[in-house]
Amino acid sequence: MKRILQVLVGVAVAASLVTVTSSEGAGKCNGLPTKAQLTALLQDAASNPADSGIPGTLGGATCFTGVASGGGCVGGLFGGTRMWGAVVNRDGELCAYVTSTADPRDTWPGSQAIAKAKAHTANAFSNELLPLSTARLYTFSQPSHSLFSLNNSNPFNAHFLAPPSGGGGGNGQVAGGIITFGGGVPLYNASGDIIGGLGVSGDTACADHEIAKRARHLAGLNPTGGALVDDIVFTAEDGASVFAHSPCVNNVRNGVDVIDEAP
């Protein structure tokens, strides 16, 4: 009987700790997009290019919806319409994660972990002096470059994944993960302080970056330097750079067709 009472007391204490942690986690996400807001931001970034306010966008144009359609505002395979999005706070704790589709099974299942890891990466390696989108880590992490093997640090905890039916998913936890291609951007408040990161996945890396960049701008969470201060860079378009990213299939940047990935 004594043993049973000890177990029951332990369960009660654990339950109370979970409640406190959950409450504290909610407070730590103040100023960041909620789940509902994140869904709306992802959808708006893909369907209303004129709303994005990003220089060079095709004002009033219909967003690109597939590789067979040609042209458009974000390029890629699906026009950025089948996305996972995730937001973490400055401590790296997961605040919200969603799909831009009503049915999560319409997206790539593998993109859930990538979106969460991109959010973690953008937050983990940015500060007030240097906003660093995950797109700008691409060259650094290639063989013979200075951050090669960066992807092996801070491994993603697969325990913090949710099934399509919902439940779990790691809210309030640090899921970790490092991704060194486009789709993650740091988030800042009006004072220029970094407050977290946004990760987007579900299309080409370049289209993921375009959606993340637009969503951040729509949310009013840009760095002090503006929406394009950590934009994706292509050597063929911008000249050689340590921040360069590989071109992607059906590549569009800020509403303008740019160099595509070579066959």
How do the domains of the chain map onto residue ranges? Answer: 1-29, 31-257
- DSSP character at residue 159: G
Give me the pLDDT at residue 26, please.
54
CA distance 78 to 82: 7
CA distance 229 to 236: 19
Give me the pLDDT at residue 23, please.
31
CA distance 177 to 119: 9
Helix (H) or strand (E) holding 200: strand 194-201
Give the predicted TM-score (pTM) of the model: 0.84
Domain 31-257 has CATH 3.30.70.1890: no
Q: Which of 103, 58, 53, 93 is CA-nearest to residue 79?
A: 58
Give me the pLDDT at residue 145, please.
82
Give me the pLDDT at residue 201, please.
98
Instruction: Give me the average pLDDT of each 10-residue run along the chain (263 residues).
Output: 44 33 60 97 78 45 41 76 96 97 93 98 97 94 83 90 83 95 98 98 96 94 95 95 94 86 90
